[in-house]
Homo-oligomer: A and B are copies of this chain.
Amino acid sequence: MSNTPIRVTIWNEFIHEREHAAVSAIYPDGIHAVLAAALKSHLGDAVAIRTATLDEPEHGLTENLLAETDVLTWWGHAAHERVADEIVDRVQARVLEGMGLLTLHSAHASKIFRRLMGTGCMLRWREAAERERLWIVCPGHPIVEGLKGECFELPHTEMYGEFFDIPAPDELIFVSWFEGGEVFRSGCTFRRGKGKVFYFRPGHETFPIYHEANVQRVIANAVRWAAPSGSAYFGEGRNIPQSLSPISSKHTVDESLHRAK
């Protein structure tokens, strides 16, 4: 609604791209660079993009950076456990305050996603380069804006299959079909605190998924959707000794006990 750009931080663990020729061939400057270019291409001046990676101090996710981030995208795979718990605490706190979070593909097993879900977030998988179709099950959602047709196809993907151990999503956007026989809830939204979370399945390090136009479009749409909105966040606990309306109930409250607490 305003003309201020959405401040996006693209986080990448950035390991595979430096260690495997097959990955660097597809993502020579890292997955984050491809995502950054894609968002810029789709959203132009509506976004201001920064990137951060695991090996930077504080994984690049300083208090200042997060305070200035409207939407954070997360890609990790090989090193979830190397993400420091205090950084996970920090990201969680910002999500509750209203920062959007897009967790991509293998980020289903990231500490931050599992923290926000409260479940194990595991699933079935297979790397057989099989075909995937993502079917739209919520056609009125802004996240599917501009997609043509009832589904879109990815020719070669890693399979993720149910059971996907997440809480029931607030909104289910995509369901995937895989050639080898599985299905998956591939696009799921969750609200946590004042923040919006979108889990989006597509992605991989050796299949060029983030070069796909439809995948880029969905992520761009999700950035807009996840940008902070609403009222203030009221997450802090608070005693309200003075009631808003008069209380006529008569009962002796044991004040010594209250002091003890």
Contact = CB atoms under 8 A, between A and B. Distances in A.
A220 B174 CA distance: 30
Contacts of A253: 127-129, 206
A16 B256 CA distance: 12
Interface stretch (A50-58, A66-74, A163-171): A163-171
Contact of A98 (B136, B140, B195): B140
A147 interface: yes
Interface in A225-261: 228-241, 243-254, 256-258, 260-261
A82 interface: no
A168 B179 contact: no
A96 B124 contact: no
Interface string A160-186: 011111011011100111111111010
Interface in A77-134: 78, 92, 96, 98, 109, 115-120, 122-131, 133
Interface of A: 1, 16, 19-20, 22-23, 78, 92, 96, 98, 109, 115-120, 122-131, 133, 135-151, 155-156, 159, 161-165, 167-168, 170-172, 175-183, 185, 190-196, 205-206, 224, 228-241, 243-254, 256-258, 260-261
